[in-house]
């Protein structure tokens, strides 16, 4: 039953966002600015809070900020912190194996992207054994049960701004709907597809730095759009690392936010990939290059010998 509700919900939110774009007023840059700010806020809720903190414990924080981060993650309409974390930990445990709930290798690109959320079988695999650590926190369990409350509050704030600026009349309703469209619906749908692209695109296309057993890849443009999550092969190789972009040129906005939290005293015990791992990878890369050069030189020599005969 859950898969039917989720399917309906996904279509419904897409339809609402599209209706808002078509029928509401559009004020140009101010709406685009609202979209960008909201996307950044909602997006970091997924990457910093849900993914790097709750799913992987890449850093530690105090209990209050932990709750704030759980609240923040709920804004993306991707389920509560327990569901999100359980699904993600399941993915890492069975990456691209038959049991992986969203493997492009076994069930194709679209299933990996969003089809898995509408698949009845998937919900049998996501169980709370994966989140025993979080189940001990009553405030997180409570929030998971009311995970639609944070986005509902955000919508209420946006609508209130609309009514306060234009009055509780037809114009006010129009402005409220416009704010909800560009401040919530469009950023949420955009965040969904970016998050889902990490499951689909970064397990499908792009270069592989580390020889992991799964199909994870590093996709630079998703590194930018997904606020640092596109360095997915790096992430699969060393999951607990707070930094997914392993080098300075691998832009990782989520990591920069966590560094800011560290400066503010909100994050500590940041986890990093060991330097040894990066050195080993460089050596392996040089060895592969050397091997290739040897093969090319041997090939050239044998061709020259054949020609001279
Ligand atoms: Zn993955
Ligand atoms: Zn992960």
Ligand nearest the Cα atom of residue 229: 2
Give the model confidence (pLDDT) of 63-102 as tens digits: 999 999 999 999 999 999 999 999 999 999 999 998 888 8
Instruction: Tell whether 138 is covered by a domain.
Output: yes
The token pair at 224 is 């930018």
Instruction: Tell whether 275 is covered by a domain.
Output: no
Cα 85 to middle of ligand 2, angstroms: 9
Query: How does the average pLDDT of the chain come out, rounded?
Result: 93
Cα 30 to middle of ligand 2, angstroms: 34
pLDDT at 279: 83
pTM > 0.85: yes or no? yes
User: Which residue, among 260, 222, 300, has the nearest Cα to 59 in the 3D structure?
Assistant: 260
Instruction: Tell whether 89 is covered by a domain.
Output: yes
Instruction: Tell whether 309 is covered by a domain.
Output: no
Cα 95 to middle of ligand 1, angstroms: 6
Q: Which residues pair with residue 231 across a beta bridge?
A: 218
Per-residue pLDDT at 302 exceeds 80: no
Instruction: Tell whether 116 is covered by a domain.
Output: yes
User: Which segment of 83-92, 122-131, 143-152 scores lowest on mean pLDDT?
Assistant: 122-131
User: Sorting pLDDT into bands at 50, 70 and 90, what band is 309?
Assistant: low
Cα distances (angstroms) measured from residue 297 to each of 165, 192, 289, 290, 304: 73, 49, 12, 10, 11
Cα 230 to middle of ligand 1, angstroms: 10
Instruction: Tell whether 242 is covered by a domain.
Output: no
Range(s) of the domain holding residue 184? 2-206
Give the model confidence (pLDDT) of 7-28 as tens digits: 999 999 999 999 999 999 999 9
Instruction: Tell whether 177 is covered by a domain.
Output: yes
Indicate the number of domains in the chain.
1
Cα 128 to middle of ligand 2, angstroms: 17
User: Sorting pLDDT into bands at 50, 70 and 90, what band is 2?
Assistant: confident
- Rounded Cα distance between 205 and 215, Å, is 9
pLDDT at 30: 94
Cα 219 to middle of ligand 1, angstroms: 12
Instruction: Tell whether 13 is covered by a domain.
Output: yes
Q: What does the DSSP 8-state code read for residue 66?
A: H
Percent of the chain with pLDDT over 90: 74
Ligand nearest the Cα atom of residue 202: 1
Per-residue pLDDT at 171 exceeds 80: yes
Cα 224 to middle of ligand 1, angstroms: 17
- Rounded Cα distance between 268 and 266, Å, is 7
Task: Using the structure block, give the residue that is written with the tokens 């909201």.
Answer: 38
Per-residue pLDDT at 119 exceeds 70: yes
Cα 8 to middle of ligand 1, angstroms: 26
User: Which segment of 70-84, 129-143, 276-290 scores lowest on mean pLDDT?
Assistant: 276-290
- Rounded Cα distance between 101 and 152, Å, is 29
Per-residue pLDDT at 307 exceeds 80: no
Cα 102 to middle of ligand 1, angstroms: 9
Cα 64 to middle of ligand 2, angstroms: 23
């Amino acid at each position: 039953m859950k898969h039917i509700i989720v399917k309906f919900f996904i279509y419904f939110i897409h339809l609402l966002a599209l209706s808002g774009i078509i029928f509401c007023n559009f004020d140009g840059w101010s709406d685009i600015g609202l979209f960008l700010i909201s996307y950044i806020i909602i997006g970091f809720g997924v990457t910093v809070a849900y993914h790097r903190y709750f799913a992987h414990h890449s850093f530690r924080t105090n209990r209050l900020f932990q709750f704030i981060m759980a609240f923040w993650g709920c804004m993306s309409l991707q389920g509560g912190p327990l569901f999100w974390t359980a699904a993600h930990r399941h993915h890492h445990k069975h990456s691209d194996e038959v049991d992986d709930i969203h493997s492009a290798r076994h069930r194709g690109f679209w299933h990996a992207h969003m089809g898995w959320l509408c698949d009845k079988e998937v919900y049998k695999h996501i169980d709370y054994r994966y989140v025993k650590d979080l189940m001990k926190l009553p405030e997180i369990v409570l929030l998971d049960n009311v995970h639609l409350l944070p986005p509902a509050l955000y919508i209420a704030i946006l609508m209130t701004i609309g009514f306060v600026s234009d009055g509780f009349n037809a114009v006010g309703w129009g402005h409220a709907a416009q704010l909800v469209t560009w401040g919530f619906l469009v950023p949420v749908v955009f965040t969904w597809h970016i998050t889902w692209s990490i499951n689909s695109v970064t397990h499908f296309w792009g270069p592989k730095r580390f020889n992991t057993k799964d199909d994870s890849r590093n996709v630079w443009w998703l590194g930018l759009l997904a606020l640092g999550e596109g360095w997915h092969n790096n992430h699969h190789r060393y999951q607990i690392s707070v930094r997914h972009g392993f080098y300075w040129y691998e832009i990782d906005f989520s990591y920069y936010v966590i560094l800011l939290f560290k400066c503010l005293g909100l994050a500590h015990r940041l986890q990093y990939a060991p330097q040894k791992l990066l050195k080993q990878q460089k050596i392996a890369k040089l060895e592969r290059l050397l091997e290739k050069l040897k093969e090319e030189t041997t090939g050239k020599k044998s061709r020259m010998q054949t020609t001279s005969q």
